[in-house]
Homo-oligomer: A and B are copies of this chain.
Amino acid sequence: MSSLFPSQWSLVSGGITAPHGFWAGGISAGLKSTLKPDLALLLVPENSVCFGAFTQSLFRASCIDLGQRSIAKNKGRIRAVLINSGQANACTGEQGLKDTRTAIRELAKLLSINESEVLMCSTGVIGERIPMDILVPSLAEVVKSLSSEGGDQAAQAILTTDLRDKQIAVQANLGGKIVSIGGMAKGSGMIHPNMATMLGFITCDVGIPKNIWNEMLSRSVQSSFNAITVDGDTSTNDAFLAFNSGDTLSSKHFDFLEEGIQKVTQFLAKAIARDGEGANCLIQTEVQGANNDHDARKLARTVCSSSLVKTAIHGCDPNWGRIVAALGRSGIEFDSRFVSLWLGQFQLVKDGQPIPFDRKSVSDYMKLKMKGRYMEDDCISLKIVIGAGKGFGTGWGCDLSQEYIHINADYTT
């Protein structure tokens, strides 16, 4: 039992294959110019329920359109997800669509399932087609890599410029039955709320009716993947897929299960923000006292996405003026005379006005939190009281560094 989760959900290993019956695998097919893993496969048990949330961009890769249609057509019963990294296969027109269809068809044959039961996710450079002469012959190999312990391999194979894999699994006893939830994600750049500029996958080995599952996951996405930002850009290929399959859970455990799902989605979302391109720290902004949760979340995300806030934090500079400026332009109504603000345990603003603080102590706190950025509890914490309302919301982001510019000024050429 880890201190990470003080409830009855405890951390276990295995990632997306920790839940019973889910198999995964990953290989280096040669789709990337490096020798890194670049093709992953998730095999889902029969009678699964799949929830999907996809990018809201009007420029969407064809795999996104196809996936959304298949989930609807099959009422959520999906058996496999193929994921390639290196080429986004977005803005590739008719040929790109044909390629996706070919990959799905060939994989369905190998797995002896229907084409409409296969989803595909692509991540990488926009406008680049997947080299089909490499992909198609690799499908047999990625099928062969499937195992009940393949979560780790899959989590590696979906990465692009990520520095670390992002996976987690938790387990709890629900009325005598051990239930597991697993998850993996990739992020790095083009990360901004609105579902969700990243790939994310959740598995769960207990049966939940489709409508309940969809509601649970919709709520969880709001307070996790849609609450993070790296650079304000939404991708053409973002997808989040969540599967459950198993004996039906008693409805009395639904709230507790949702708590576990939220832990998993928030862990993954924070891992993405923490590992944003060029990032040195995770920034967590909690807003309370807003008129409603939506307003609070929007305020939190506006602060986390401000370039001036992000650069100030990068410089370990407690420049609260930029934080209040970001709040002021968020588009959310509030009375500036009732705003208070804390950075770590240090209060910087009270009732809309600065109060004296020891600049060096606050800066030292920020420096300390930068050092251990991959630790779960290490984040630069902003707490904002915006009024006397009941709305509460949290947003996560990262600092903006010279390294972000370096990575992004020279990505395709």
Interface positions of A (Cβ within 8 A of B): 56-60, 88, 90-93, 125-127, 189-190, 192, 194, 231-236, 305-308, 311-312, 314-315, 317, 319-322, 324-329, 333-336, 339, 349, 352-354, 359, 363, 400-402, 404-406, 408-413
Contact = CB atoms under 8 A, between A and B. Distances in A.
A411 B321 CA distance: 11
Contact of A314 (B192, B325, B339, B405): B405
A409 B311 contact: yes
B59 A325 contact: yes
Nearest to A317: B413
Contact of A325 (B190, B194, B319, B409): B190
A327 B58 contact: yes
Closest 7 CB pairs of A and B: A126-B321, A315-B409, A57-B328, A59-B328, A311-B408, A234-B329, A93-B353
Contacts of A413: 315, 317, 319, 359, 363
Given A127-B321, A231-B307, A321-B125, A56 B405 contact: no
Q: Which secondary structure dominates where chain A touches chain B?
A: loop
15 contacts: A57-B328, A58-B329, A91-B353, A125-B321, A126-B324, A232-B307, A233-B326, A307-B307, A307-B404, A311-B408, A312-B409, A315-B409, A315-B410, A317-B409, A363-B413
A354 B322 contact: no
Nearest to A407: B311
B306 A232 contact: yes
Given A91-B353, A231-B307, A233-B322, A328 B60 contact: yes
Nearest to A410: B315
B353 A308 contact: no
A27 to B, nearest CB: 26
Contact of A320 (B127, B321, B322, B328): B127
Given A317-B409, A329-B194, A413-B317, A91 B354 contact: yes
Contact of A405 (B311, B334, B336, B352): B311
Contacts of A354: 91-92, 127
Nearest to A324: B59
B234 A311 contact: no
